[in-house]
Every structure is written in C-alpha cells, then in structure tokens.
Amino acid sequence: MRTRARTAGGDLAVTGRSAPRRRPDLTSHLFLLPAVALFTLFITVPALVGAVISLTDYVGYGEWEFIGLANYAVLFRDPNVLQSYAFTLGFSVVTVVLVNVVALALALGLNARIHLKTALRGVFFLPMVVSGIVIAFVFNYLFSSSLPALAGALGISWLQESLIANPDLAWVAVVLVTAWQAVPSALIIYLAGLLAVPEEVYEAAALDGASAWRQFRSVTLPLVAGYVVINTVLGFKNFLNAYDVIVGLTDGGPGTATRSVAMTIFTGFTSGDYAYQMANAVVFFVLTVVVSVLQLQIIRRRGVSL
C-alpha cells in the first residue's frame, strides 16, 4: 500500500509498495463461456447472416446475387409493409394503455379487504397460463358465432356482424383478446407494488380527510409509478412482436387490416420474399432497439430497476 510522507522541504513523497492488482477470476469467465457461446451461435450469427441476406435477391433456395440496398428502397415504399407498421405501433400503444388501466384497477380491488380474495386472484391469473393460439381460436368462435347471435337476440344491429370480419373494427377484437391474456402478468406486478406501500401512509391520509380518489391520486399512484413504467416497458416490447393471437384470431384479415410486422415477415419467408422480408426484419430490429433505448432512458430517469 502506498503511504504519503512530508519531506524536510515540505513536499509530499509517496513511500511504500503499491498493492498488487487483483487478477481476474477465471472461474467466473468459464461459467459465462457457455452462455456467451450459445448466444453467439443462436442469436448473433443468425442476425449477421440475415443482415447479409437482406442485401441479396435470395428467395429461400437456389442461386442469389448481391443487389445492395434495393430491398430497403422498395421496403419504404411498400404500402402493405407501411400499413403493418402503422397497425403494430397503434395496436401496441392502445393495448398498453388498456392493460395498465385494467390491471391497476383489478389490483386495487384484489388488494382491498374483500372475501375470497385468494380465490379471485387465482381466477384472474388463469389467462396467463393458457396458450395464446388456444385463446385466439376460442375468441374467434365467440366473435364469429356467439356474439352476433346474442346481439341479434338483443336487437343490437352493429354487433350482429362479426367484429373480426369488419375491416374497421377487427383491430378492436385483437386489442381485447391480447389485453385479456396480458392483464394477469401486469396484475402480478401491480399487486407487488401495492403490497410494498405501507399501510400507515393510507391511515395518515385518511386522518387528514383525504377521500378514496384523493388517496389514489396523491398516495397510491405516485408510489406505484415505477411499476407503471415496468409494465409499460415490458408490455410494449411484447406487443410489438404480436403474432400468435393475431394468427389464430384474424389471420391478419380482413385483407391485411390486422397484419402485424411479425406476421408480415413470417408470411414473406414462405412466399418467395425471403431476402425482402429479411430486410424488413432488419428494419424492425433497428426500430425495436430504438424503442428499447428510449424506454431505458425513461427508466433511468425514474430510478426504476427491472
């Protein structure tokens, strides 16, 4: 260890030996090696190969040639691709808002002093353990048969036509089904946040004469704001990659009204647009990274840890 001593002339002198630098722990590096190798093999290498393929005219088989950025030039003028991006972004924003509002409302109810609270929590968590494609097929039947029949019996004319057959309303069905499946995971996070709020805070607010709405606005919401950020970030990331629910519910229809970016990419892979949709995948990857970075900046400003 270095020590400082003052010389006769008043100057400071450093004496003693410096402590040896700590050698890196090779054991920790060895434990990381399998994970890094698997990530490189199954994530990094395919991504690089895909980026190279996007610069070619490859159709999935046979010969190919490099064509530079031609796929990207066509991509940004393709109305079907632009429509899929518009639908995906709009659908993601609306679903995030709906999921957070419903999940927070349910969390407040399930956190209150009510009977059968544990049983109700189990009921609300059921959609989370059911496959998305199964949920989509069930709701497809409900929207196509049960709901129109019920609307006809009640005389509700605008619901007698299937929602998923209406180009202007099919997106509503997709949002509702996706939110129905996504609410339980957000609900768990909100329940954890509400349980972390001290009961004494509510007692003090009640003694000050705060109403239930004022307690929610001035006490509950600020204290669970970090959990709102977490649910927003996780939900938006998941909804950008929406695929299975859309395939089982509308198959991207009517026409291409509910076709997401992920569905457009996968459909193109099997229809001879391999390199073209690979370029689409690269653009979508860049967009996802940009959105993720912006969300991380928001998280850091809020001081929230995921």
- CB-hemisphere CA count at 13 Å for 262? 16
Whole-angstrom distance, CA of residue 142 vs CA of residue 262:
25
Measuring CA to CA, which residue among 252, 253, 124 is closest to residue 182? 124
What range defines the domain where residue 137 resides?
Answer: 82-243
Whole-angstrom distance, CA of residue 279 vs CA of residue 265:
9
Distance of CA 108 to the CA centre of its chain: 23
Q: pLDDT tens digit string along 158-192?
A: 778 888 988 888 999 999 999 999 999 999 999 98
**Does residue 6 lie in a domain region?**
no
Whole-angstrom distance, CA of residue 194 vs CA of residue 137:
34
Q: Is the peptide bond before 254 cis (omega within 30 degrees of 0)?
A: yes
**Does residue 88 lie in a domain region?**
yes
Whole-angstrom distance, CA of residue 228 vs CA of residue 234:
10
Which amino acid is present at 21? R
Whole-angstrom distance, CA of residue 219 vs CA of residue 272:
56
Please report the pLDDT score of residue 125 as a whole number. 79
Please report the pLDDT score of residue 179 as a whole number. 94
Please report the pLDDT score of residue 72 as a whole number. 93
**Does residue 45 lie in a domain region?**
no
Q: How many domains does one find in the chain?
A: 1
In contact, 109 and 103? CB cutoff 8 Å: no
Whole-angstrom distance, CA of residue 220 vs CA of residue 213:
10
What tokens does 84 get? 């899929």
**Does residue 192 lie in a domain region?**
yes
- CB-hemisphere CA count at 13 Å for 47? 11
Angle at 22 between CA 20 and CA 28, to 5 degrees: 165
Where the chain has pLDDT below 50, the residues are 1, 3, 12
Which amino acid is present at 121? R
Q: For the chain, first and last CA: distance in Å? A: 39
Whole-angstrom distance, CA of residue 131 vs CA of residue 141:
16
For every residue of the chain, DSSP letters joined together read: --EEEE-TTS-EEEESPPPPPPPP-HHHHHHHHHHHHHHIIIIIHHHHHHHHHTTB---SSS---B-TTHHHHHHTT-HHHHHHHHHHHHHHHHHHHHHHHHHHHHHHHHHSS-TTHHHHHHHHHGGGGS-HHHHHHHHHHIIIIIHHHHHHHHT-GGGSS-GGG-TTTHHHHHHHHHHHHHHHHHHHHHHHHHHTS-HHHHHHHHHTT--HHHHIIIIIHHHTHHHHHHHHHHHHHHHHT--HHHHHHTTT-STTTT--HHHHHHHHHTTT-HHHHHHHHHHHHHHHHHHHHHHHHHHHHHT---
pTM exceeds 0.85 for this model: no
Whole-angstrom distance, CA of residue 64 vs CA of residue 194:
57
Angle at 97 between CA 91 and CA 98, to 5 degrees: 85
In contact, 231 and 103? CB cutoff 8 Å: yes
Give the CATH number of the domain where residue 236 resides: 1.10.3720.10
**Does residue 56 lie in a domain region?**
no
Please report the pLDDT score of residue 239 as a whole number. 92
**Does residue 52 lie in a domain region?**
no
Q: pLDDT tens digit string along 244-294?
A: 899 999 988 888 899 999 999 988 888 778 899 999 999 999 998 888 888
**Does residue 67 lie in a domain region?**
no
